[in-house]
Amino acid sequence: MKAIVQERFGPPDVLRMADIAPPEVGAGQVLVRVRAAAVNPYDWHMLRGDPYVARLMGGVGLTRPKSRVAGIDAAGEVTAVGAGVDGLRVGDEVLGFCTGAFAEYARTTADRLVPKPAGLTFEEAAAVPMAAVTALRGIRTVGRVAAGQRVLVNGAGGGVGTFAVQIAAALDAEVTGVCSTRNVDLVRSLGAAHVVDHTREDFTDRGERYDVILDNVGNRPPGRLRWALTPHGILVANGGGSPGRLFGAVGAILRLVAIDAVVRQRLRPILPAVPDGPVHQDLLAVAALVAAGRLTPVVDRTYPLADTAAGVRHVEGGHARGKTVITVSATTGSGSPGSP
């Protein structure tokens, strides 16, 4: 099969297309023919092997990438199921977390997949898993947003932000989105009652107070963000794209926890939507919102599999509008590789 592989840590240029053997499916595992895969900040962190503390924690790999094939978000068709897998059959269209998603086939487990809503293309479906689950956790699980609350989403035009605005609006909150000029109309169309163009004003200077702030950008210190919170408000920090080669998001989370211990407001990080964590219930929840018409993926750009490096470079630049997706042309023919 065709796959995007990396043999060492480095910039997107280290990615290359290669012909490799497809994964074999064992007990409890599922093989997915990947039709589309999304790019996340998670992917370029894995690509560069940063922050360095993550290497010591075992999630990235110490001297070389832990996973040779990049990518994690996928949408496609089930082509093989291992012993003990219930609820999935060959031919089912699914979306979810598949390590090695930048390839024609990827292996995962049933608890990391959910049925693809019928109204979505594969490209739209691939945009859902990590970004939508992170947004759901930020708004509903950590932020505990309720109807009538005032919610601000910083970075409302990005992958997590576009989902967060819609989820908060679906909970009947009054949503303010902070974004660049080119995304103002988009963010308003997603359900934001108010939009702040960050190129023209600083939302922390406006004198407005919010019950919940979801910060996807990290471009304001916690002290400034607290100024925009109500006395008992919640600051939810999404450190997925946090810079810093040494500590990255880990350092930001530790600072947040230290401040939280001495203030009345609550400062909370989002539990990352990582591939080895519990995600099934959250995937079901976001898929249900999509099926109900309350959540629509925003796809910024698509790239063919051969141009995956360009897609990763676009996301790493920090200016993606919604999600960036890799379109994968899977092989066809009789039988499926990896069948048990």
pLDDT at 331 over 60: no
pLDDT for 333 equals 38
Out of 140-149, 241-250, 298-307, pick the least confident. Answer: 241-250
pLDDT at 270 over 90: no
pLDDT for 65 equals 66
Determine the Cα–Cα distance for residues 292 and 30; give it in Å rounded to an integer: 27
pLDDT at 258 over 80: no
Mean pLDDT of 189-205: 96
Mean pLDDT of 197-201: 95
Q: Residues near 291 by Cβ (< 8 Å), separated by ≥ 6?
A: 117, 118, 119
- Identify the band that residue 280 occupies on the pLDDT scale cut at 50, 70 and 90: very high
Q: Which residue has the higher pLDDT, 221 or 126?
A: 126
Q: What percent of the chain has pLDDT over 90?
A: 68
331 touches 21 (CB < 8 A): no
> Tens digit of pLDDT for each residue in 163-189?
999 999 999 999 999 999 999 999 999
pLDDT at 136 over 80: yes
Determine the Cα–Cα distance for residues 338 and 30; give it in Å rounded to an integer: 9
Quote the pTM value: 0.88
pLDDT at 218 over 50: yes
> Tens digit of pLDDT for each residue in 87-118?
999 999 999 999 999 999 999 999 999 999 99
Q: What is the mean pLDDT of the chain?
A: 87
Q: Strand, coil or helix: what is 74?
A: strand
Q: Residues near 196 by Cβ (< 8 Å), separated by ≥ 6?
A: 176, 177, 178, 179, 203, 206
Mean pLDDT of 141-167: 97
Quick one: which of 214, 87, 114 has its CA closest to 162?
A: 214
- Identify the band that residue 48 occupies on the pLDDT scale cut at 50, 70 and 90: low
DSSP state of 8: S
